[in-house]
Each structure stands twice: as C-alpha cells, then as structure tokens.
Amino acid sequence: MNTFTGKNVDEAIQNALNKLAIEKNQANIKVIQTEKKGFLGFGKRDAIVEVTVIQEPETKTPKSAADDQDINTKASNAAKSASIEFTKSKDEEAEPENDAEDTKQAVTNLQNYLDAIVTQLSIHATSEVVFKNSKTIKINFDTKEEGLLIGKHGLTINALQTLAEIYLNRLGIYHVVVELDTANYRQRRLDILEKLAEKTARDVVAEGKPVYLDPMPSFERKKIHKTLENHQHVRTYSAGREPYRAVVVVPK
C-alpha cells in the first residue's frame, strides 16, 4: 500500500503524483485521513492518502460480432448462475428473525444499560423508549444537561448509539436500528447538515475544486448524499476509513 502525507488532502495527492511520476487520471486515490488544524498545536494532524497506479489494459485482438454475442450470452448465464448461488448462500447464512418478546426484553435491558452509563457520566436524565416499527427503536433522554449528553458535534450521543446496537447484537437481536435523541437534537442536526451540504455545493461551484467535509457517521453522510443527489453541478462520494470516513463534494 502506497500512502502519502501532506498538510492537506490536495498536497498529499500532489506529493503522491510527484513521487510516482504519474498524472492524476493514472491514479486510484483513496483518502485515508483528512487534515485537522488542531488548537494551539494540540490535535493537529496531516492528511493521508493511499494512491495506486492504474494499469493500462492489454490490447486484445478484435472479435467478430458473433464472438461478442457468444461472450455476452456466456456472461449472462454466468451472472444468473452466480446470482442463484449467492441467493442460496445468503438464505443459508441468514440470521433468524427477531422474536417480538425477546426484542422487547432486550430493549428494556438496553434502556437500563444506557441509563447506568449516563448516570456514570454525571448526567441526570430519564429515558423513554419508542418502537417506531419492528426494525427501528428510538430512545429519548429528557435532561437539562443535553449539551453534555450530545457532546461536541454529537460525539458522545453517537458513541452511545453505536454501543447500543452492539449491545443488542450481543443479546442476539439483529438488524434493529437504534436512534438516541435528546432535545430534538437529531432533527436539528439534519437541518444543519442540509444547510452544510447546500453551502458546500455553492463553494464547490464557485471555486471549481473538491471540498472534503469533516468525518461523520454513516447516517449523517447519507443526509449529505441525499441532499445533493440531484444537484446539477456537483456530485458526492465518501472517502477514507471508519471512523475517519468523510463526504467529498466535487464538481460534475
């Protein structure tokens, strides 16, 4: 793996291109870590990118139309066969459906578990569970210390939410989405992300350069992608590895 660093992502990419003596269109670029300015020298970090050289395809002898048709037929048959095998494999490995009573008991245990953690964080709060549907539950915390519970940029509440889903998995409850909320934070955060996406798109159009947003959890990245999916002048994709995976907004 070829990794390169720089003060920012653009500089790291340029360092890689210079080192490998290639053009950007000859490179497969993956952002491993975005830069961070830090505060008073603390927490500062460089950007890291992974760059591999795209191999030129081998020149092949032209085929006749009959050859192409035969290849397409074989490819189609192979795809159907692979699809059938994949379906069988998924069915064989599929986890059992969650029992309603087991799920209810597990969620009660989860609520008690989270209440204990919040208390250990010296946060006075009460919690309420809402079953939105069989696959989604919401646990809302009522507290006057919502700032402590949410944490900077949602760091604390997002960590608790991830922990909650892991806890349910350990109890044998799978494919259940857990949403933790307090003081309507989730909706307020979605509104902020929508405005951030729109502002970033305007900046990208004005500057003609990609913009790398700060790392965020997958459900927040989806909001950025959703907001800009039909934009006429920009497109989005995610880059990097968890927990540093971030949305990149680029000109079309």
Residue 96, pLDDT score? 59
Q: 131: pLDDT confidence band, cut at 50, 70 and 90?
A: very high
What residues does 128 pair with on adjacent strands?
140
Residue 70's pLDDT band (boundaries 50, 70, 90)? very low
**Mean local confidence (pLDDT), 222-236:** 96
User: pLDDT averaged over the chain?
Assistant: 81
For the sheet containing 177-182, what is the strand order?
125-133, 136-143, 177-182
Closest C-alpha among 98, 99, 128, 133 to residue 114: 128
DSSP class per residue in 44-71: -B-EEEEEEEPPPPPP-----HHHHHHH
What local confidence, expressed as pLDDT, does residue 38 receive?
A: 59
Average pLDDT in the 32-39 region? 72
Backbone angles phi, psi at 64, to 5 degrees: -75, 170
Determine the Cα–Cα distance for residues 213 and 99; give it in Å rounded to an integer. Answer: 40
User: What phi and psi values does residue 191 have, to the nearest 5 degrees?
Assistant: -65, -40
Answer yes or no: is pLDDT of 93 > 60: no
More confident residue, 45 or 69: 45
Strands 177-182 and 234-239, sheet pairing: unpaired
* Average pLDDT of the residues in 154-175: 93
String of DSSP letters for 16-27 = HHHHHT--GGGE
Q: Quote the pTM value.
A: 0.60
Q: What is the pLDDT of residue 42?
A: 54
Q: What is the DSSP letter of 247?
A: E
User: Which residue's entry shows tokens 């992608």?
Assistant: 225
